[in-house]
Structure 1
Amino acid sequence: MTDTRVSQAGFTLIETLVALAVLAVGSVTLLVGVERHAARVHGLSDRLVARWVAENALAATTLGVPTQDQWTRALDIDWSVTLRARALTGSGLQSVTASVADTAAGPDATLVSLTGYIARTDARP
């Protein structure tokens, strides 16, 4: 008599566990990547809105219009705007820098700083 063995097709339990472990590691890596991307997109939208607020503040300063409180609220966030003016000697201009931060994060958490140049009111010809 000859011993005839039927070949068993398929995966063993160890092979299946190794495949599941590889799939789990790949899934976790993909999830971490997606979370990082979502955080970057959220930060980008905050910086974009902060830039709009800074541009509005610079435009209001250029026009000589006082900034109103409702102009600093956007995307359901209250933004704090700090304006710093510095005279540029010999040019008749002054540099105005608008720094914008989320009010909840504090004034030290500046997201955007924009600089514009306007004619000095005390400039002599």
Structure 2
Amino acid sequence: MKRLEQSGFSLIETLVAMAVLAVSATAILSATETHTHTVSAVTERTLARWIAQNSLVVLEQGRQAEATVQMGRGEWQVRVARSDTVDPDLQRVDIAVARLSAANVVLARLTGFVDVTREAVE
């Protein structure tokens, strides 16, 4: 009697292939999660930077910057610190922006200079 050759994969080969696929899928999922977190963090910092720049423009126009701003599905806290410079017509303005829910984590800082004579005229 002649023995037929078996074709196909054995159970061990199939289990090894499935283990390799599981490890690969886990690595891909982890990389995707890290990428998503990084994109989210960059988005938050970009929004915070825009808010800081907008606040500086408001101050340059002689108006008062808002302490709380609504932008991008959230509320942001804007802290403005003014200090005098050597030039009596200019003030240094330091702006810090954070999420209102995490006010101790500053996501953007911006320093600018405001013409105080412009504020006095308007």
Q: TM-score range by the shorter chain?
A: 0.7 to 0.9
Q: Determine if the alignment matches structure 1 residue 111 to structure 2 residue 107.
A: yes
CA offset digits 1:68-108 (Å, max 9, x no partner):
46x711012111100112222258533211100001112x1
Q: Which amino acid aligns with 1:19?
A: A
- The alpha-carbon distance between structure 1 residues 109 and 116, as it changes in their structure 2 partners (threshold 3 A), is same
Higher Cα Rg: structure 1 or 2? 1
The answer for the alignment partner of 2:76 in structure 1 is 79
Question: Aligned with 2:102: secondary structure?
Answer: coil
Question: Aligned with 1:85: secondary structure?
Answer: strand
Question: Aligned with 1:8: secondary structure?
Answer: coil
Query: Could you tell me whether the CA contact under 8 Å between 1:97 and 1:114 is conserved in 2?
Result: yes
Q: Which amino acid aligns with 1:6?
A: L
Gaps of 5+ in 2: 118-122
TM-score, scaled relative to structure 1:
0.83
Q: Higher helix fraction: Structure 1 or Structure 2?
A: 2
TM-score, scaled relative to structure 2:
0.85
Number of matched pairs: 117
More divergent stretch after superposition (84-93 vs 21-30): 84-93
